[in-house]
Amino acid sequence: MLKRSLCPCKLSAMWKHVPNMLTFMRLGLTIVFLWMILSSPQATNRPFFLDIAFVLFVIAGFSDIVDGHIARRFNATTKFGRMIDPLVDKILVCGAFTCFALIGAPKLFDWGPGTLAVVHWGVLAILVVREAYVTILRQMAESHGVNFGAVAAGKIKMFLQSFAIGTVLIKTAHVQTAEWGHWFTIVTYLAMIVMTIVSGLQATRRTRTPQVAAA
């Protein structure tokens, strides 16, 4: 019996659905990941519990890279994908820092609860305001048929935010009291905040050009 193979056009059409499937898979991983952060203070073996959360976070981040590559490779970039993909990224990032603030992580030097609360919630406020602002810009641009895809500043911002999340997880699990761990976290946070603000300002400028881009 002869086996019929799918023609290249059908294979290409199938691949075009993969990026959005990976995005929804990342959303599912994000929900589990955020639950693990909130549950970590009650975990019997907290370091191991946070290590598992870190692995899930890495998988989620890797899926983001893969879906972007597939979308470009098979020309599967869509308006829906350009909107839902960064939205899931924002849920992951803002959700993680919200959970960190709720559990009081990371601990820094011998700072008291009040000072730490200002740092945790202040960082979260900066991230949320920037992401909400850029999301509004994206919606306005897309409604006028303007492409609002990712550019270098947005990618660097996302990398630093992801690196900061990983830093907090590892610090909380394994180096809570180490002096170098405190300084490393502070420097990472500062770099992240600077790039978050810079990329937001860049998004504003790009709305005045024919091709808009941010992430």
pLDDT of the residue at 1? 46
pLDDT range class, residue 81, cuts 50, 70, 90? low
* 109 in any annotated domain: yes
Q: Is 3 part of any domain?
A: no
Backbone angles phi, psi at 213, to 5 degrees: -155, 140
Distance between CA atoms of residues 61 and 5, nearest Å:
33
The residue count of the chain comes to 215
Q: Is the model's pLDDT at 9 over the cut of 60?
A: no
Residue 38 vs residue 89, higher pLDDT: 38
Classified as helix, coil or strand, 212 is strand
Task: For residue 168, name the pLDDT band (cuts at 50, 70, 90).
Answer: very high
Residues 23 and 77 sit within 8 Å (Cβ to Cβ): no
Q: Which two tokens stand for residue 92?
A: 């992951």
Collapsed DSSP state (helix, strand, coil) of residue 214: coil
Is residue 213 pLDDT above 50, yes or no? no
> For residue range 37-46, what is the model confidence (pLDDT) as tens digits?
999 999 999 9
pLDDT(13) > 80: no
Say what the pTM is.
0.84
Does any domain span residue 32?
A: yes
* Residue 1 domain-assigned (yes or no): no
Full residue range of the structural domain in which residue 61 is found: 8-213
Identify the CATH number of the domain in which residue 122 sits. 1.20.120
Residue 213, H or E segment:
strand 212-213
Give residues with Cβ within 8 angstroms of 109, minimum separation 6. 182
Cα-only R_g, the chain: 19
Tell me how far apart the alpha carbons of residues 70 and 64 are, in angstroms, rounded to a whole number: 10
Between 58 and 141, the more confident residue is 58
Range name among 56-60, 78-82, 96-100, 162-166 with the lowest pLDDT average: 78-82
Number of domains into which the chain is organized? 1
